[in-house]
Chain A
Amino acid sequence: MFLINDHTDETMTPCSLRAPRLPVTRRAILSAALAAPFLTLPRAEAAETLNVTAYDGFVPPEFQKQFEAETGVTVRIRPAASQAPELTLLTAERDHPITDICTVVGTRLHQFVDNGIIEPIDVARLKNWNRLNPVYANAEWTRVNGAVMGVPLVTAADVLVYDTREVKPAPDSWFTIFDPKYKGRATYDIEDFLLCVMLAQGADPTFMSYLKEPAAAATAVNAARDLLIRNKSQVVRFFDEGSELQQLLTGGDAVIAQTYASTPARLILAGLPFRRVVPKEGTLAFVYTFAIVKGAPNRDGAYRFLDAMLGTPGIGAALTRSAGYAACFVDAGQGLSESEAAAYGLPADAVERIRFPRFEGQALSSSLIDKAVQDVKAG
């Protein structure tokens, strides 16, 4: 018999009397003991819960506490970071929905509608509907076949953000991204920048004028796409989320960017030398809404929640501070300091240059734009 000594600290006999030790036991006990103090007691199941899938900050914490205290409903929030995973998740649970309210971005409305995820809002049940700025409350572009599909909360517009130390003179056109001075130091969100470039090239980014001739739409998209591909060396790298852009700008890797995210406002309010501008060619804006999920387990609670949100005084400022965007309420600017208002809002002449996406044009735009994004990434 050839006994092999495999451990330098213990001798292995063929019939070891040492009982086998489970390697995880001690570690498990100690770690669990350490975690125990951190365990809050299991949340007592309230009589009524409301499940909201929301972006970070879209339910201001003070409002949530107030609502819970006044109605006794427990508001549970599931964090979502972007539309794609949220849409995928809600589609996967489409047959057994556990969500009452979800966040829908105007540009993705058609997907939520086509997949049968959300249902129309019965505006009559929202007594405080008139607290919304009429621009958003009555807009054509928030409706599908006349039905309102979500309660507008905040609005975001594409802007140019730039580092005033490096970018001179102040830019006023989308094409500044392609200025050779900033080669390798520019960045943008491909999907949205394609639309901005289309606008700057004189095309229609809402696709409404191409509904009768899809070929013209393809031409317009390709023109924008080819411009991006030709100038790909301008880009340091592409980004998807505001957090990536924020680090690119603060880290000094990018000096000029197109974005709709709250990044410019955050940088400006932090006192960093950045500025945002709406280029002369105009821009696109869209609205983030709270929509009610089809088959929501607590539809009544959802309406109460939305109505309460609309009716809370100062909700506009609270939303702006926690979500980082301008609010859609009548009193949106009230309660914000002058610097906050400047950072989050837009000057009046810029507002005139804004275009909003249209539901009817989205099906056409999404298939063309998706392909174009792929081409830009690969090209």
Chain B
Amino acid sequence: MKSWRHFFFLAMPILWVAGLHVGPLVAMARISLTDVYPGPPGANPAFSLDAYAAFLRQPGFQLSLLRTLVLAAVTTLAALILAYPLAYHVALHVAPNRRLRRLGLLAAPFWTSEVLRMFALQLLLSNRGALNTTLQWLGLTSAPRLLLYGAGAVLAGIVYTVFLSMLLPLYAALDSFPKELAEAAALDGAGPWRRLWHITLPLTSRGVASGVVLTFLAALGVFAAPALLGGPGVPVFATTIADLFAAASGRWPQGAAFGFIALAVGSTVAGLLALAVSRIARGMSSP
């Protein structure tokens, strides 16, 4: 801390984070450490670590969390691969006065609610949906092909849900990285792929890292896509937590405990991903 000015500059963020981010979770943490909640009014719930132990006791829960982490990671990678070229195009190829419009067009689907977008995907891909009907009408297939309710459909659905949290940070980074270095490299004879790999990607790595973190975390919490497009397999962890709050027997402590476990594990993995991105970027920038 350099001065009083610096102190006041830091005060508001610290108060905001402590009071509004951490604060509300304290009550939830207390609930996760009780044995039954909500109890009948006036009852005093006792301290208990059982809610956390329940996660360790049942491999089904651990499997659900693991599966969700893998799904989120794969989704993030897919979103990165899809969004980077698009962000590059809008930031570097499109005329400046058209950029916001191009971005806005891509963002437009996200004005529709997540659940409705998933229903829309069903309209497209179900047995009597638009795609199957068209294929049969064109004579390309004789019977409807099952396209939904597998891992691919869920992946597509999640990407369709979280795409913007990858696109916007990438755009912000690509819009304003120092392009002269790339131009200088071009003059020196470096081809477009070398320029991309050794200059553009490393210079935008912080944007990539924030996009990866935001998208991964968003993908961890996605509900509708796995629920509406997934098959009868293991549910994602967000569903498991919601089911615990929905359970007909008071299982709030378990729901809260699982939430904190997801929080701890999710943020650790997100942090590792961000670290990985910066390491890779460092490796790429030295040809």
* Interface: B156 (CB within 8 A): no
Assembled-state Cα–Cα distance A373/B248 (Å)? 11
Assembled-state Cα–Cα distance A203/B149 (Å)? 33
Chain A residue contacts of B96, Cβ below 8 A: 7-9
* Interface: B234 (CB within 8 A): yes
A116: min CB distance to chain B, Å: 4
Interface residues of A in 212-246 (CB under 8 A from B): 232, 235-238, 240, 243-244
Contact of A251 with B122 in the complex, beta carbons under 8 Å: yes
In the complex with contacts A6-B176, A94-B41, A237-B127 CB distance below 8 A: no
Chain B residue contacts of A115, Cβ below 8 A: 38, 40-41, 250
Contact of A94 with B180 in the complex, beta carbons under 8 Å: no
Chain A residue contacts of B231, Cβ below 8 A: 236-237
A327: min CB distance to chain B, Å: 26
Report which residue of B41, B64, B96 has the largest number of chain A beta carbons within 10 angstroms of its beta carbon: B41
Contact of A247 with B178 in the complex, beta carbons under 8 Å: no
* Interface: B52 (CB within 8 A): no
Residues 228-252 of B, flagged 1 when their CB comes within 8 A of A and 0 if not, give: 1011101100000011011111110
Assembled-state Cα–Cα distance A33/B220 (Å)? 36
Assembled-state Cα–Cα distance A9/B96 (Å)? 7
* Interface: A4 (CB within 8 A): yes
Q: Interface segment, A308-316, A335-343, A364-372?
A: A364-372
Interface residues of A in 59-93 (CB under 8 A from B): 82-85, 87-88, 91
Assembled-state Cα–Cα distance A366/B247 (Å)? 8
Contact of B126 with A252 in the complex, beta carbons under 8 Å: yes
Assembled-state Cα–Cα distance A238/B127 (Å)? 17
Contact of A88 with B245 in the complex, beta carbons under 8 Å: yes
* Interface: A111 (CB within 8 A): yes
In the complex with contacts A251-B127, A253-B148, A116-B176 CB distance below 8 A: no
* Interface: B89 (CB within 8 A): no
Contact of A94 with B38 in the complex, beta carbons under 8 Å: yes
In the complex with contacts A251-B129, A374-B60, A377-B234, A7-B176 CB distance below 8 A: yes
Contact of B127 with A252 in the complex, beta carbons under 8 Å: yes
In the complex with contacts A8-B96, A94-B38, A237-B230, A108-B248 CB distance below 8 A: yes
Assembled-state Cα–Cα distance A369/B247 (Å)? 10
Assembled-state Cα–Cα distance A369/B228 (Å)? 23
Residues 210-235 of B, flagged 1 when their CB comes within 8 A of A and 0 if not, give: 00000000000000000110111011
In the complex with contacts A8-B96, A116-B41, A236-B231, A367-B249 CB distance below 8 A: yes
Kindly report which residue of chain A lies nearest to residue B150, judged by CB atoms: A237
- Majority secondary structure, B binding face: loop
Assembled-state Cα–Cα distance A373/B64 (Å)? 15
Chain B residue contacts of A349, Cβ below 8 A: none
B84: min CB distance to chain A, Å: 20
Contact of A238 with B41 in the complex, beta carbons under 8 Å: no
A122: min CB distance to chain B, Å: 21
Contact of B149 with A236 in the complex, beta carbons under 8 Å: yes
Assembled-state Cα–Cα distance A85/B231 (Å)? 24
Kindly report which residue of chain A lies nearest to residue B132, judged by CB atoms: A252
- Majority secondary structure, A binding face: helix
In the complex with contacts A115-B38, A240-B227, A251-B249 CB distance below 8 A: no
Kindly report which residue of chain B lies nearest to residue A365, judged by CB atoms: B248
Assembled-state Cα–Cα distance A82/B234 (Å)? 22
Residues 184-206 of A, flagged 1 when their CB comes within 8 A of B and 0 if not, give: 10000000000000000000000
Assembled-state Cα–Cα distance A237/B246 (Å)? 20
* Interface: A19 (CB within 8 A): no
Contact of A366 among B41, B149, B234, B249 (CB under 8 A): B249
In the complex with contacts A94-B38, A108-B248, A378-B149 CB distance below 8 A: no
Residues 123-139 of B, flagged 1 when their CB comes within 8 A of A and 0 if not, give: 10011110000000000
Chain A residue contacts of B179, Cβ below 8 A: 5, 8
Chain B residue contacts of A130, Cβ below 8 A: none
Contact of B235 with A377 in the complex, beta carbons under 8 Å: yes
* Interface: A45 (CB within 8 A): no
Contact of B126 among A94, A111, A251, A373 (CB under 8 A): A251
- Chain A interface residue count, CB cutoff 8 Å, equals 47
Contact of B126 with A378 in the complex, beta carbons under 8 Å: no
B127: min CB distance to chain A, Å: 4
* Interface: A209 (CB within 8 A): no
Assembled-state Cα–Cα distance A83/B243 (Å)? 12
B227: min CB distance to chain A, Å: 7
* Interface: A114 (CB within 8 A): yes
Contact of A238 among B144, B176, B177, B232 (CB under 8 A): B232
Contact of B232 with A237 in the complex, beta carbons under 8 Å: yes
* Interface: A11 (CB within 8 A): no
Assembled-state Cα–Cα distance A243/B183 (Å)? 55
Chain A residue contacts of B127, Cβ below 8 A: 251-253
Assembled-state Cα–Cα distance A94/B40 (Å)? 11
Kindly report which residue of chain B lies nearest to residue A379, judged by CB atoms: B60
Chain B residue contacts of A138, Cβ below 8 A: none
Assembled-state Cα–Cα distance A8/B92 (Å)? 9
Chain B residue contacts of A84, Cβ below 8 A: 242, 245-247
Chain B residue contacts of A94, Cβ below 8 A: 38, 41
Kindly report which residue of chain B lies nearest to residue A116, judged by CB atoms: B41
* Interface: A322 (CB within 8 A): no
A160: min CB distance to chain B, Å: 19
Kindly report which residue of chain A lies nearest to residue B63, judged by CB atoms: A378
* Interface: B197 (CB within 8 A): no
In the complex with contacts A116-B41, A247-B122, A366-B249, A232-B178 CB distance below 8 A: no
B54: min CB distance to chain A, Å: 11
Given contacts A251-B123, A377-B234, list 20 more A-B pairs with CB under 8 A: A5-B179, A9-B96, A84-B247, A88-B246, A107-B248, A110-B248, A114-B39, A115-B40, A115-B41, A116-B41, A235-B232, A236-B231, A243-B119, A251-B122, A251-B129, A253-B149, A370-B251, A373-B243, A378-B60, A378-B235
Question: Would you list the 3 A-B pairs with minimal beta carbon distance, nearest first?
Answer: A84-B246, A251-B126, A366-B248
